[in-house]
Structure 1
Amino acid sequence: MKVTLINTADAGGGAPAACMRLLKALVQNGVDVTMAVQQRLTTEQRVTTTTGKRIAKANFLLERLPFIAFEERDKSVRFAFSPANSGSNILDHPAIQEAEILHLHWTNSGYLSIKNLQQLLQLGKPVVWTLHDMWAFTGGCHYSNGCDHFVNQCGNCWMLRRPKTNDLSHKVWQRKFAMLQSAQNLTIVSCSNWLGNVSRGSGLLGSRPTVAIPNPIDVDTFSPKDKIAVRKKWGIDTDANIILFGAANINDRRKGIIYLVEALHLLKQQTGDAPVQMVIFGKNKHFDTATLPFKVKELSIINAESDLAEIYSAADVFVSPSLEDNLPNMIMESLACGTPVAAFNSGGIPDLIDHQQNGYLAEYKSAADLAAGIRHLLFSEDNVGLSISARQKVLENFTNNKVAKQYIDLYNSIL
């Protein structure tokens, strides 16, 4: 079979990373697969660009600027809502023409408009659409923040400057509804059980066949490293208890850093003078690490997977106070490196964390319970057992071979 994965880029975020990992997993399992992108950032030979750089930049601006000028409520939602009104027709590209199966992933930021998606659906080829967030079944938001208007036809959107019944979210929802009428052979894949259940309850995708298949991970790259050696390499205290936090954008509302700050202050009250160091990585423009009660080592943006594996291995616990997430790559990466994770019991996170076995599932938005979870993992008498269980969870569920087989079975079933 010949499969083309379609994603806006091949690096630079959670969805590109997951899509690239799937590409490699499928190749390892004998699938003839190509990845079609708007922006190529890696040297992977099986990745092909379908759009020129000037056109890509123009499409990005044509989508963003009208939203910012007329629809955006405030800067906090600037990239949290995508109207998908501008994009490129990629029908004539060889990667599309030659494919037996088209496999959509994340196509926003001016890559494919709703019209362009409809063009692909009208080709008559089987289409698989892996959901990396909620966008496919909402009126434009990537995560709804508890809003359930997508169950019907959206409208009165809290992200918009002037929410009303027939606002932009309702119009986008209607355009997607019209688009989906062309989809005769469309299968939805959710990376987590949570997102699959939400999609099944939506007005747009509720009637579509939906299966849950997780993202894969390379368990050779993401594996436990010598803790003392990597701490020395990265300038991390070899004698302290290490708490790790990372995010693509630390200031993103969804990543819940306000709860992390509160939890760490509570933890400090409970642990007194115990030697604890905080390690943080990711894009950080505004967060003042001086507000944290522990000594902080800030590592900025880490791109290389080998470096990430070392940093996870250096920690005693990884903390993910995310408020809305599908199947977070960072949690899976940490577990694969044998580092247990404390996180809120939300979204797809319970697919990864088994409470008090390989991590701690804290009560949603409870900084006190998150602090209790960090403390439990940080000072556990069974650190070795937690580490083994963390790694084992990934080996049993998320390896390249296991995930690739699920997709190959799906491909065969729809051809």
Structure 2
Amino acid sequence: MKILHVGSTDSAGGASRASYRLHKGLEESGVDSKMLVRRKSSNDPKVSVSGDFSVFQNILEKLTPPIERTLRRWSGNPTGSMWTFGIIPSRLAAIINATDADLVHLHWAGNGFLPVKTLSQIRKPLVWTLHDLWPILGVGHYDDAVPELNPGWLSVDWESRVRSLKKKYWGNLGITAVGPSPWVIGQLSKMNNRPGWAPAVIPYGLDTSVFEPRTDLRLREELGISQDRAVLIFGALGATSDSRKGGDLLEGVLEELAHRNFEGDIIVFGDQDSAKIRSYGFRLIRLGSVCDDTRLAEIYSVGDVFLFPSREETFGQTASEALACGTPVVGFRAAGQASVFRHKEHGYQATPFSVSDMANGVEWIISEKRRGRLWQAECREFALKEYSLARYASRHYDLYEKVITSSKA
């Protein structure tokens, strides 16, 4: 079986991390897996860059992202959220069709990497993981990014226009749509605009030999945290600039905990947005961007609670990573993240979007731990069962077999 994964990058962002982990998991299980991306960060020889296949495609790859950004700016993007127009031509389909892949697995295709019309020109069986909702919306990647008509000089209803293009070119395509959570597939069903798509739910997986509880306590010493001190962890990209990530809700939780005289330290990691989070009197340790998975596992392991205040996620990889390291999660019972862990079994699912109830969850987990509850073992066992890389790969292998067999019928 030969699988070609197609996505914007091989490591930047949650969707890319999920797709690369799948690629490596399939490789380890004996599948001939390759990736085709716009931008490569790894040194993996099985990952190819689409612009390397032709001079014309290379030019397009360089021009498309700035054109997309210009369109967003001129169209008066009201939320600052991600839009993808998908209208700039591409030779990506020709490149894909020339490969010997038995099946093409599409991943995140933002910033115009996979134009709407180009997708309809791929002549191989297709699986598409819905890392966000762009495949079923217009230009928006989530509902909160769906634009209203801008009164400026470029007054084009892009959402309706791109939805119409997708209906025109994708209406008769037989695509197997994989949702990392039941919520995503529920959104696909609710939209009811892709009648030919077959749904499947496969949660993201991870390398549980890397993301595992770390008993070495040197990181606490390095950060100056006493062994009996409660530690809360938070990590996200775009924590304050992307409202879905819930940076404002995190601050609300910290403010609420401060009012309750909660004693503990807060560790924050992520991009430059993490530096903007207010501390509310807590000692807030800012680690910045952390790209090394081993280092991430060490960070998760020193925490008593992982804070996951997102409003809307298709899954929630940081939460599953924390669980694999034995750290319980406190988040909201909303969207795709609600399926990542079970309430009061591996953490606490607060009422959306009550910062008071999320603070209740933090206090409850700490009190349970002090009563002797073995959170680490419970969370780790659940992650091994649900999110191992081997299971992630095998679920996809079984799906690929069905799709390939069906395409030959």
Normalised by the length of structure 1, the TM-score is: 0.90
**After superposition, where does 1:118-137 map in structure 2 within 5 Å?**
118-120=120-122, 123=123, 125-137=124-136
Q: Which residue of 1 aligns with 2:163?
A: 173
Give distance in 1, aligned partners of 2:265 and 2:325: 19
- Pair 1:314 & 2:319 matched: no
Equivalent residue for 2:193, pick from 204, 213, 216: 204
Aligned to 1:270: 260
Contact conserved, 2:254 with 2:279, CA < 8 A, in 1? no
Does 2:74 correspond to 1:69? yes
**Aligned equivalents of 1:96, 1:302: Cα separation in 2:** 37
SS at match of 1:38: strand
Deviation string, structure 1 residues 239-283 (Cα, Å, up to 9, x no partner): 4210111102221211111111111121122235x3x10110011
Deviation at 1:110, TM superposition (A): 2.7
The code of the aligned residue for 1:21 comes to R
Q: Give a deviation string over 1:214-260, Cα, whole Å, max 9, x none.
A: 11110000000025223224454444210111102221211111111
Match of 2:184 in 1: 195
Q: Distance in 2 between matches of 1:245 and 1:383?
A: 24
C-alpha displacement of 1:206: 4.6
- Cα 1:95–1:379 change in 2 (3 A) is farther
Query: Is the Cα contact below 8 Å between 1:221 and 1:309 reproduced in 2?
Result: yes
Structure 1 residues 119 and 201: alpha-carbon distance in aligned structure 2, compared to 1, 3 A threshold = same
Deviation digits for residues 99-132 of structure 1 (CA, Å, limit 9, x no counterpart): 1101101111131111221222xx1x21001100
Q: For residues 265-305 of structure 1, what are the alpha-carbon distances to aligned partners after superposition, in whole Å with 9 as ceiling and x for unaligned?
A: 21122235x3x101100112485444433111000000011
SS at match of 1:187: strand
**SS of alignment partner, residue 106 of structure 1:** coil
Residue 412 of structure 1 pairs with residue 405 of structure 2: no
2:245 aligned with 1:255, yes or no? yes
Match for residue 394 of structure 1 among 383, 390, 400: 383
Distance apart, 1:87 and its partner CA: 5.2
Q: 2 CA distance for matches of 1:328 and 1:160? A: 31
Distance in 2, Cα, partners of 1:71 & 1:267: 38
User: Is the deviation greater in 326-335 or in 82-91?
Assistant: 82-91
- Note the residue ranges of structure 2 that are not aligned, 5 or more in a row: 53-57, 405-409
- CA distance in 2 between counterparts of 1:17 and 1:109 reads 17
Count of equivalent residues: 396
Q: Which runs of 5+ in 1 are unaligned?
A: 148-156
Q: Distance in 1 between matches of 2:239 and 2:105?
A: 30
Distance 1:332 1:196 in 2: 19
Identify the residue that residue 26 of structure 1 maps to in structure 2.
26
Provide, for residues 182-213 of structure 1, a one-character-per-residue CA deviation record: whole Å limited to 9, x for no partner.
Answer: 51x31111111110111112132255210101
8 Å CA contact retained: 2:10, 2:16: yes
- What CA distance in whole angstroms lies between the structure 1 residues aligned with 2:94 and 2:206? 32
Q: Determine whether 1:139 maps to 2:138.
A: yes
The amino acid across from 1:351 in the alignment is S
Q: Give the structure 1 partner of residue 407 of structure 2.
A: none
Distance 2:332 2:21 in 1: 26
User: Take 2:104 and 2:251, find their aligned partners in 1: how far apart are those partners?
Assistant: 43
SS at match of 2:379: helix
Name the SS for the 2:270 alignment partner: strand
More moved, 235-244 vs 206-215? 235-244
Please say if residues 129 and 178 of structure 2, whose CA atoms lie closer than 8 Å, have aligned partners that are also in contact: yes
Distance (Å, rounded) in 1 between the aligned partners of 2:149 and 2:366? 42
Instruction: Kindly indicate whether residue 47 of structure 2 is the aligned counterpart of residue 59 of structure 1.
Output: no
Asked if structure 2 preserves the Cα contact closer than 8 Å seen for 1:244 and 1:319, the reply is yes
Residue 290 of structure 2 corresponds to residue 302 of structure 1: yes
Q: Which residue of 2 aligns with 1:242?
A: 231
CA distance in 2, matches of 1:285, 1:192: 27
Equivalent residue for 1:232, pick from 208, 212, 221: 221
CA change 1:48–1:263 in 2 (3 A) is same
Tell me the secondary structure at the aligned position of residue 75 of structure 2. helix
Please name the residue that 1:150 is paired with: none
Q: Distance in 2 between matches of 1:41 and 1:112?
A: 19
CA contact (8 A) 2:235 2:270 kept: yes
Is the Cα–Cα contact under 8 Å of residues 8 and 38 in structure 2 kept in the other structure? yes
Q: 1:110 to 1:242 in 2, by over 3 A?
A: same
Share of identical aligned residues, percent? 28
1:246 partner amino acid: G
d(CA) in 2 for partners of 1:336, 1:382: 22
Distance 1:288 1:12 in 2: 21
Sort the Cα spacing of 1:283 and 1:413 in 2 relative to 1 into closer, same or farther, 3 A: same
Spell out, residue by residue over 1:12-38, the C-alpha distance to the aligned partner (whole angstroms, 9 max, x if none): 100000000000111111111101101
Q: 1:349 to 1:383 in 2, by over 3 A?
A: farther
1:324 aligns with 2:303: no
Match in the other structure for 2:108: 106
Contact map agreement 1:87 1:110 (CA 8 A) in 2? no
Aligned pairs for 1:318-357 within 5 A: 318-357=306-345
Separation of aligned partners in 1, 2:371 and 2:100: 53
AA at the equivalent of 1:57: K
Whether contact under 8 Å (2:4, 2:35) holds in the other structure is: yes
